[in-house]
Structure 1
Amino acid sequence: MMHEFKKIIESSKEAKKLGLQTVLASVVDLEGSSYRRPGVRMLIWENGKFTGAVSGGCVEKEINRQAQIVFATGVPRIMTYDGRFRLGCEGILYVLIEPFSPSPFFFDTLETVLLSREPFSLHSYYKKEDSQNINYGSACLFNSNVLSLQGKELNSHKLHVFKQTMTPCNQLIIIGSEHDAVQLCSFATALGWEVTIVTSPMEEKDISHFPGAKKLIAVEPELFPIRDIDKHTAVILMTHSYAKDLKYLLALSTSYPSYLGTLGPSKRREKLLHEFMEHNPEADLDFLENIHGPAGLDIGAETPQEIAISIMAEILAVVRKKQPIKLRDKEKGIHQ
């Protein structure tokens, strides 16, 4: 996921400042089932520190051991990890371990792409066997630029390729600044979402009140910047003011977030939608159908923390087009 990749990038920059080399481990193939699917990565520092994880914790020790070989030789390698006899996951992991030393141009290009919230592709080249090869490795495809994560050109002839589309980070816009907004911000940030807090200019709040938030916007509803909303954006109305919620809902009426939630009971939602339609009778039906209220899944939530979990669970289900059920009742695999 993009937020995990961003953490790896930041970690690599930190290691470079300290003069430390880093190695990237990527799960590029899988037979059977595993804790995580191909596309997960971790960065290992030469001093033993690491960022990210590719499993529940059992595979990382072996990856760290084999990473030391890559540090010593500079040659990428594929390691296989048979979880059928160790983890009980009934799967075989194929992990690409490669030196991580992108060029300065790579970092500049990636920063531009992230700011513009554009997707890009990440390709990893390998053979499906325990082996090492100077041409194993990964590269990011930024439109016309193909930039290796090793800082050198790769010859991918006759190699398998794992292709992954890296979409922009999910962002959550929380309109409101009460205690429950702080809790929701905390949980969303922990899940890797980029959080924006929207408050009234009259409120004496700043970003320090919302640990983990990327930015805070103090703006009246009529001036709300809906241009920042894209298909990877979820919005939750939680001002605890009916009048404010209505004004913000009207301001949002020409936007199409992936999820739009409101707090409060069903009667409040119906009243809100009724008044919304009186002010905006030409509103798009798709916009109205995307309003989720009361926001959240019914998990018996009572505390602000539990409510935050309930809301984030519904947002994830909507964004990933899943109908929430107990995993024990799922007939297919967990990741299907």
Structure 2
Amino acid sequence: MSSSHPLAPLPGTEHTEHAMYLGLEELGHFFHQRRDHARLVLATVVTTAGSTYRKAGAMMLFAEDGTRAGLVSGSCLEDDLAGHAAKVFASNRPRRVNYDLHDDPDLVLGLGLGCGGDLSLQLHPLNHDQGMNVLGSMFDAIAAGKDCRLLQFLSDGEGAELEGDGIAVTGSEGLAAGQSTLLETGSEHRTDDTPAVFALPISPPPRVLVCGAGPDAVPLAAQVRALGWRCLVLDHRAAYADPARFASGVDVWLQRPGTLAQAELETIDAAIIMSHHVEHDLAYLRCLSAHPPAWVGLLGPAKRKATLLERLGENTMTVYGPAGLDIGAEMPAAVALSIVAAIHAHMHGRDGMALGHG
């Protein structure tokens, strides 16, 4: 058992300093459909080493009827993991599962794996007496647009007993009422026989603002939603500001350019301005400059951007224009792919270059 502070990153989990949101929408739907009449098992990747499809923080949910949601690999481990989940249902105890793909060639061949990395997962039983309300609190926080942390006691082996639920949710103000003993038990003063705690920061999915609801905004909003991100589309034209034109889950508001309230601006992580009208684009830029999102893109050539920024005047906002990555995009679907890829790369601190060369 490691003697490090349990709320510091465990080896192989360093990347979880960035709050997780990947796949949580699918898990949330699965959870809410079953929480009132089924037991569930939560599987969480807690450490990885080498090349793995998913990293620490990836989660799955299993139901007793064999249904499941989420991914922890490229579909290589899920069937085997379902067998471990069945054992958790039978024992109602947490279980630690390790896949050592460097030292176990039989396992690699048997599961058809090709990544060659190692990963360790914690499986927690969830029912109405144990953990279900905790996970519900996590999804409630996400729905309310709030950050939280999911804390899990880590068992050493199969069927290990943990005190209480073995799982808790805390916000920025500390642990929720009634859960304080979990953090205290896992504090830096713990003894060697107390479990480590895996603390996973959880954030709501990014929210992307699309300024303009023309035909090219439709595939863009669809791409945003396909990633599980939130999407808000604005337009002052009633014929365009029609939710029926857009993918499920896209918020579409009929609103004049540049009139988005400050409270809404503070929830925006990225914005793309694509009204195809100079004065409207300028109004959107002025509005966004009051509280700039992490990424702002402007459709159109560089000369157009320069003209608009000159008219905007002094400001600290970085505007990417032409917006998107250089993938040779011309038609709306390809332009949407280019823009969403640029936003994704920026949010993850990547340069958007090719991963490998032929």
TM-score past 0.5 threshold: yes
Name the residue aligned to 2:345: 317
CA contact (8 A) 2:213 2:240 kept: no
The Cα offsets for residues 201-221 of structure 1, whole Å up to 9 and x where unpaired, read as: 544532121113442221112
List aligned pairs for 1:272-291, cutoff 5 A.
272-277=308-313, 283-284=314-315, 286-287=316-317, 290-291=318-319
Q: Hey, which of these two has a bigger chunk of strand by percent? A: 1
Distance 2:346 2:217 in 1: 20
The structure 1 residue matched to 2:301, chosen from 244, 262, 265, is 265
- Tell me: CA distance 1:327–1:147, structure 2 relative to 1, closer, same or farther (3 Å): farther
Residue 135 (structure 1) shift: 1.1
Question: Does residue 256 of structure 2 align to residue 220 of structure 1?
Answer: yes
Residue 35 (structure 1) shift: 0.9
The structure 1 residue matched to 2:330, chosen from 299, 302, 312, is 302
The structure 2 residue matched to 1:91, chosen from 117, 129, 140, is 117
- Tell me: CA distance 1:213–1:271, structure 2 relative to 1, closer, same or farther (3 Å): farther
List aligned pairs for 1:40-189, cutoff 5 A.
40-84=58-102, 85=105, 86=108, 87-101=113-127, 102=131, 104=133, 107=136, 110-111=139-140, 113-114=141-142, 116-127=144-155, 130-135=157-162, 137-142=166-171, 143-146=173-176, 156=186, 158-189=194-225
Structure 1 unaligned segments of length 5 or more: list them.
278-282, 330-336
Distance 1:63 1:148 in 2: 32
Name the residue aligned to 1:250: 286
Structure-2-length-normalised TM-score: 0.80
Residue 47 (structure 1) shift: 0.8
The Cα offsets for residues 269-317 of structure 1, whole Å up to 9 and x where unpaired, read as: 112212222xxxxx32x21xx1000000001112211111110111112
Distance 2:94 2:216 in 1: 47
CA contact (8 A) 1:196 1:215 kept: yes
Distance 1:191 1:204 in 2: 23
- Tell me: CA distance 1:53–1:168, structure 2 relative to 1, closer, same or farther (3 Å): same
Name the residue aligned to 1:333: none
List aligned pairs for 1:184-195, cutoff 5 A.
184-195=220-231
Distance 1:210 1:231 in 2: 21
**Matched residue SS, 1:293:** coil
Read off the aligned partner of 1:181 and give its amino acid letter: A
| Count of matched residue pairs | 316
Distance 1:147 1:60 in 2: 35
Distance 1:241 1:314 in 2: 23
Question: Does residue 236 of structure 2 align to residue 200 of structure 1?
Answer: yes
List aligned pairs for 1:26-41, cutoff 5 A.
26-41=44-59
Distance 2:64 2:267 in 1: 39
CA contact (8 A) 2:151 2:167 kept: yes
CA contact (8 A) 1:168 1:232 kept: no
Q: CA RMSD in A?
A: 2.6
Question: Does residue 299 of structure 2 align to residue 292 of structure 1?
Answer: no
CA contact (8 A) 1:76 1:99 kept: yes
Residue 16 (structure 1) shift: 2.8
Question: Does residue 314 of structure 2 align to residue 239 of structure 1?
Answer: no
Give the fraction of aligned pairs with identical amino acids, expressed as a percent: 29
Distance 1:306 1:213 in 2: 21
**Matched residue SS, 1:131:** coil
**Matched residue SS, 1:133:** coil
The Cα offsets for residues 245-283 of structure 1, whole Å up to 9 and x where unpaired, read as: 111112222112011101011121112212222xxxxx3
Distance 2:203 2:63 in 1: 26
- Tell me: CA distance 1:210–1:159, structure 2 relative to 1, closer, same or farther (3 Å): same
Distance 1:131 1:106 in 2: 22
**Matched residue SS, 1:93:** strand
- Tell me: CA distance 1:105–1:299, structure 2 relative to 1, closer, same or farther (3 Å): closer
Residue 223 (structure 1) shift: 2.2
Structure 2 unaligned segments of length 5 or more: list them.
1-19, 187-192
